[in-house]
Every structure is written in structure tokens, then in C-alpha cells.
């Protein structure tokens, strides 16, 4: 099939947000997306971008995205975090996810990172099988912890 | 008890690495720490530091650390990642962890982050109880995924 991967530009952000929302629905968190197109533009394309975004597109538009940024491991050193790897539902199984991940790993390797990290829902077996087929280690004993915006405010009030 | 919290300086890094190693042993990963004092100094105290480190110390030395850096959520916006919150084993239960976390949350709030994230081992019940008592949400269905240095090299070879 015919698709290409390129670095995102500001004008892609409406389609990028659409894919972020599509994944949130799949992850049973459809009300969790509070970010706007304007946020993505200002956060990703300012003087100090907070993330790097790749898009996979065919003649009809953007069908997949990868969003990443630098992290740091106190065991290994500089690492790269893959915040989102999303392929729109009806276009899965055509190599778009692999093509995007190839670019992410190539980019991480060019930076010399010691690790590439991401997160996965433990019931998302197709994603887990895909990641494991690529050599990733899904660490089922490590859980993600969030102190959300409201909890931060409560915490501050009680210090 | 008498301890104070301050921003780390380069000269603290040997003691900081010692605490990182102590935690790795507790987490049954004693061979996982590949970083050196020189790495911590160059990564944390250069022109573009890759992390921010706080230390808790008493008259005898450093008894606890917090290491953090910026992340980004495509659902919420800018976030703060708490990579390590470590109190040396024999000094636990004396309020050092809370004092460090207070500083981390106050710092995150001053930045206006939408979330503070970290990771925990699912069998580390004392840590989980501590985090939950502070209002954090331990997301047991979200697992951490790693593509380590060797896997990155294998991946690149097979593209």
C-alpha cells in the first residue's frame, strides 16, 4: 500500500488530535482528552517543543502518528519515550504501525538513547503481541502512577 | 527529626548513585544500574540538564532523593515525571519521603503541570499505600514497556 512518513507540521494537528481521541475511545477513556488543537500547536511547535510528532499519510490524509520526547533513566541514562503510536482502526494490519515504529527506533538510535519506553494497557493483547514481536519487554509488574490535576490541588492544600 | 531538603549539587552525585543502587537491590535488579557518577554529573548539571534532583540530608549526609524531569501527555498537556523517590531503608517512616514528595508536588504545581507521573512495582505494597495516601492513582492495568539498548540494536539490524 501507498503511504509515507514525515515529520508533522502545525497544520496536521487537527487530524493528530482526531487520532488521539480515537485511541482514547478504544482505551475506554473517551472523556480523558482535555487537550486542544491550539495546545498541540503551541506545545509542539514553539521555541522549545515538548514533543516530536511523525505522521503516516496516504492520498486521503493522515492514518497514523507517533509522538515522542526525551526521558531519563537513572539506571541507563538518556532514553526516548513513545507517548503515542496510533494507527486509525480501519487501516491496521497494513504495516503503518511498523513503519512508524521503525522511524521511532531509528531516531532513538541516532540520539544514542539507552532505552525506548512506552506504556500499554494490560488487556490490549494485539498491541502487546506487536510490541513483543519487535523485541520490546512488556513489564507486567511495573504499574503507572498518576497524580492528576485535581489531586495536585488537593495535595497542595493539605501540605 | 532534623533534616532539610535542598537542590542537589554535582558533589552529591556519589551519594545519589549510592541510593539509586540501594533501590535497585530492593527492586531485585541489582545489576541493572549502568550509570556512573560522571554520567549523573554531565547529564544533570550541563547547559541543558536532563533531570532535576532534590536531596534530603541530615547531619550525617544524604538520606533521600527525588529525581524528576518534564514529560508530556497528549490527553492532558505538560506533566512532570518523578523518576525516583528514594529514602534509604533505615531512615524510612520518619517523614523524609513525604517531605521530598511535598517539594516535588509544589514544584510541579509551580510549573502548572497537568499531572505528575511515576512508576511502581506492583508488589511494593508499602510504596503503593504511601502513594495512594497522597491522592495518587496506581493504574494497575497500565504496564511499562521497554525496548532496551540491545533490543534497539537488534531492531535496527532487522529494519
Q: Cβ–Cβ of A144/B145 closer than 8 Å?
A: no
Task: Quote the CA–CA distance of A9 and A98 in Å, as a whole number.
Answer: 21
Which pairing describes strands B115-121 and A115-121: parallel, antiparallel, or unpaired?
unpaired
Please indicate whether residue B131 is annotated as part of the active site: yes
Distance from CA of B116 to the nearest CA of A (A): 5
Q: Cβ–Cβ of A74/B118 closer than 8 Å?
A: no
HSE-up of residue A122 (Cα within 13 Å, Cβ side): 12
> Is 0.90 surpassed by the pTM of this model?
yes
Q: Cβ–Cβ of B143/A122 closer than 8 Å?
A: yes
Per-residue pLDDT of chain B (159 residues; tens, 9 = 90+): 699 999 999 999 999 999 999 999 999 999 999 999 999 999 999 999 999 999 999 999 999 999 999 999 999 999 999 999 999 999 999 999 999 999 999 999 999 999 999 999 999 999 999 999 999 999 999 999 999 999 999 999 999
SS3 A62: strand
Q: What is the interface pTM, i.e. ipTM, of the complex?
A: 0.96
Task: Quote the CA–CA distance of A40 and A43 in Å, as a whole number.
Answer: 5
Of B118, B122, B159, the CB nearest to A106: B159
At A1 the pLDDT is: 67
Of B39, B73, B147, the CB nearest to A77: B39
Q: How many CB atoms lie within 10 A of CB A32?
A: 16
Of A119, A123, A151, the CB nearest to B135: A151
Distance from CA of A133 to the nearest CA of B (A): 10
- B24 contacts on A by Cβ (under 8 Å): 75
B41 φ, ψ (degrees, to nearest 5): -65, -45
B87 near B97, Cβ under 8 Å? Answer: yes
Which residues of A are designated catalytic? 131
pLDDT digits (tens, 9 = 90+) for B9-25: 999 999 999 999 999 99
Which domains, from first to last, does chain A contain?
Answer: 4-118 (3.40.630.30)
Distance from CA of A34 to the nearest CA of B (A): 5
Amino acid at each position: 500500500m501507498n503511504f509515507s512518513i514525515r515529520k508533522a507540521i502545525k497544520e496536521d494537528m487537527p487530524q493528530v488530535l482526531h487520532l488521539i481521541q480515537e485511541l482514547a475511545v478504544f482505551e475506554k477513556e473517551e472523556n480523558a482528552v482535555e487537550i486542544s488543537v491550539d495546545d498541540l500547536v503551541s506545545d509542539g511547535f514553539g521555541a522549545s517543543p515538548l514533543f516530536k510528532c511523525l505522521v503516516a499519510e496516504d492520498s486521503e490524509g493522515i492514518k497514523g502518528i507517533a509522538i515522542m520526547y526525551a526521558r531519563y533513566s537513572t539506571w541507563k541514562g538518556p532514553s526516548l519515550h513513545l507517548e503515542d503510536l496510533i494507527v486509525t482502526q480501519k487501516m491496521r494490519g497494513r504495516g503503518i504501525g511498523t513503519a512508524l515504529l521503525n522511524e521511532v527506533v531509528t531516531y532513538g538510535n541516532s540520539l544514542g538513547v539507552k532505552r525506548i519506553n512506552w506504556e500499554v494497557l494490560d488487556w490490549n493483547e494485539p498491541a502487546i503481541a506487536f510490541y513483543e514481536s519487535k523485541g520490546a519487554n512488556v513489564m507486567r509488574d511495573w504499574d503507572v502512577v498518576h497524580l492528576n490535576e485535581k489531586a495536585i490541588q488537593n495535595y497542595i492544600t493539605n501540605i
